[in-house]
Amino acid sequence: ESPDVLRKLIARTRALTSKPFGVGVVLAFPHEKNVKVVLEERVAVLQVYWGDYPARLVNQAHELGVKVVHQ
């Protein structure tokens, strides 16, 4: 999805639940803008797969309170 659509989906999910939730991002496709949205919105969990996700980016997410799950 585009970053704007992702931001709307995050807002919609927040309207439906007060529980934490996560967003999955496929690293094999262009993903930088969507990861930025996930971090800006401080979604509880960022799930990344099909690629490398450097430790510095994991640390950046952790500093914002976002947990990272790499598959």
Q: Are strands 22-26 and 45-49 parallel, antiparallel or unpaired?
A: parallel
**Where does the pLDDT of residue 28 fall: very low under 50, low under 70, confident under 90, or very high at 90 and above?**
low
The reported pLDDT for the residue numbered 55 is 87
The reported pLDDT for the residue numbered 10 is 96
Res 30 pLDDT > 80: no
pLDDT, tens digit (0-9, with 9 covering 90-100), for 41-62: 999 999 998 878 788 888 999 9
The reported pLDDT for the residue numbered 50 is 85
